[in-house]
Chain A
Amino acid sequence: MGRYFKNPSFLIGFIIVSLMFMVLLISFFYTPYDVTAMDFSMRLSPPSHEHLLGTDQFGRDILSRLMKGIEVSFLIGITAVISGLFFGLVIGSLSGYFGGHLDDAIMKVIDTLMAFPGVLLAMMLIAVFGNGLTNTILALSIMAIPRFARITRSGYMEYRDSDFVRAERIRGAGSVRIMYLHILPNILSELVATSSLSFASAIMSEAGLSYLGLGMQPPAPSLGIMLSEAQDYMLRSPWYVLIPTITIALLVIAFNLIGDGVQEVNGGER
């Protein structure tokens, strides 16, 4: 683990994510104001002592909404990564380890899914299930699977004929044992990197969908919703647009950096 912290990309990413995570923990217990409480006497007021990041067009406290928005982003990122990792691992390992017709069929399906640009796939699912938090999470979770499946598959293809796997097979180890006890540790770091990158793209997609009005619905606090509402007041209150923009960018940068760092550290060893 220590070698990761020596990598500057990983370290910077890790620090940003930790800070964001602390904000998230605090938001469970405390936000300066209620996220939906409106105060029309305080519409679009700039950052001040009372409202550290100012207020929006309904006089709601931007800091409080931002804190809850980060919570939503993490919730979506975590669920997307867990489901992507789980289903991607199962599908990809079967496909890569056994190969043959099973692999052909699975890859054809994955390739087909990959023909739908990421956002489009999420949009289709939302068109079917309707919008809202749960359905957004569902859509983005399904969206994350193909990427994990591909990475896992190529990892298993690389190792399935390697000497240590052959040795295990000769010793009579079962397929499941070889797949998940012997091969999996070898591709773990790649999966960690992919998780981090998937986390970033899930956050990005949620913001995009909510921005289009297809994800979370107002008045729920989400970074995408904040951004789309703020866009109309770009001239009058530039900070209102900047705050969610920078937050999204920081989150995405941080997770990308972690993913890069993990890849760099492990790439250097091979």
Chain B
Amino acid sequence: MRYYLRKLVGLVITLFLVSLVTFFVFQILPGDPALIILGIDADPYQVEALRASLGLGRPLSMRYLSWLTGLFSGDLGVSIRYNQSVSSLIKEGLKVTSLLALYSMVLTVLIALPVGIWLAVHSRKRYSIPVSVLSQISLSVPSFCMGIFLISIFSVRLGWLPSIGYTPLSEGLLASFKSLLLPSLSVAIGSSAVLIRYIKVSVQREEGKDYVRTARSKGLTRGRIMYTHVLKNSLIPVITTLGLLTADILGGSIIIENIFSLPGIGRLITVSIASRDLPLIQGLVLYLASIVVVCNFIVDLIYSLVDPRIRLR
């Protein structure tokens, strides 16, 4: 119980720090934010109005406090570019991004798990070399290069899948899935290569342990030892990697959404930065970082559930 309590306190502290960073990073903006947002030749009246709405006249700590209280009531301010409430924009974008991230994560695991285990078992065999080389290559090709590749093959050459744009879930499950398949694959190929390496190393490390020798001395077959003893032990450290991968996958989808013109968080963030839409940037950054923190927290919980040794500490 103490373990969970400590983890929960840690979560709250990290979230608080994330909000601090998100807020204060944008306060080091050189010059007058209102002028930067609106441009130097803006109407002075407009500039004054914006300054008031951003609360620039008040002291920093007060502004942070009111931003923070706004957070809890779901009020993140109003986007300057879109003239809409930030939270409703994020809500819309999140529909796409969460689906994209989910697909990517599932694909990542689906690809990495069998390949990683296969590679660990067959690593000394010659025929495994092409697979390792392929996974090394997919690790190194940036996800947006991969996206462009996939578009040129599956949409342009073969015409199997749409190249850009998003079909919402409401217009049919399959159509929506198809519109997100290439983007999520672009993200998943790279991140599954990362996961494959972790799985491979972890399985190989476990195979050298004493309890495996014990299991062999009982007369178990190698296959059975792998499935009843080695896998569970070696996948536990991999769970942690899954937590780290959420950050990677979210980061990857920022760029991927731009390539495939998907109306998600990533697209919003690019637009908001290009147009210096301060309230929107802050809201988005906070949101993304919080998702990562919460995901890592969940991963820790799962970890403690599968490893009986953790809970006692």
Contact = CB atoms under 8 A, between A and B. Distances in A.
Interface of A: 108-109, 111-120, 123-129, 200, 204, 207-208, 211-214, 227, 231, 234-235, 238, 241, 245, 248-249, 252-253, 256-257, 260
Nearest to B269: A123
B152 interface: yes
B152 A241 contact: yes
A227 B146 CA distance: 12
Contact of A214 (B137, B156, B270): B270
Contacts of A108: 13-14, 17
B289 interface: yes
A116 B273 CA distance: 16
Given A200-B140, A245-B148, A119 B29 contact: no
Contacts, number: 121
A138 to B, nearest CB: 12
B274 A257 contact: no
Nearest to A125: B25
A128 B29 contact: yes
A170 B165 CA distance: 67
A127 B279 CA distance: 12
Interface of B: 13-14, 17-18, 21-22, 25-26, 28-30, 136-137, 139-142, 144-145, 148-149, 151-152, 156, 247-248, 250-251, 254-255, 258-259, 269-270, 272-274, 276, 281, 285, 288-290, 292-293, 296
A125 B152 CA distance: 33
Contacts of B151: 234
A117 B251 contact: yes
Contacts of A213: 270, 274
Contacts of B276: 127
B142 A212 contact: no
Given A108-B13, A120-B285, A231 B140 contact: no
A214 B272 CA distance: 11
Contact of A111 (B14, B255, B270): B14
Nearest to B142: A204
B17 A109 contact: yes
A231 B148 contact: yes
B247 A249 contact: no
Contact of B292 (A116, A124, A253): A116
18 contacts: A108-B13, A108-B17, A111-B14, A113-B21, A115-B296, A116-B289, A119-B255, A120-B269, A124-B22, A124-B285, A200-B140, A211-B144, A213-B270, A214-B273, A234-B156, A238-B152, A245-B145, A248-B142
Given A115-B247, A118-B247, A249-B140, 11 more contacts: A108-B17, A116-B289, A118-B248, A120-B289, A127-B281, A200-B140, A245-B145, A245-B148, A248-B142, A252-B142, A256-B139
B256 to A, nearest CB: 10
A256 B26 CA distance: 34
Nearest to A256: B140
Nearest to A235: B156
Given A200-B140, A212-B258, A118 B251 contact: yes
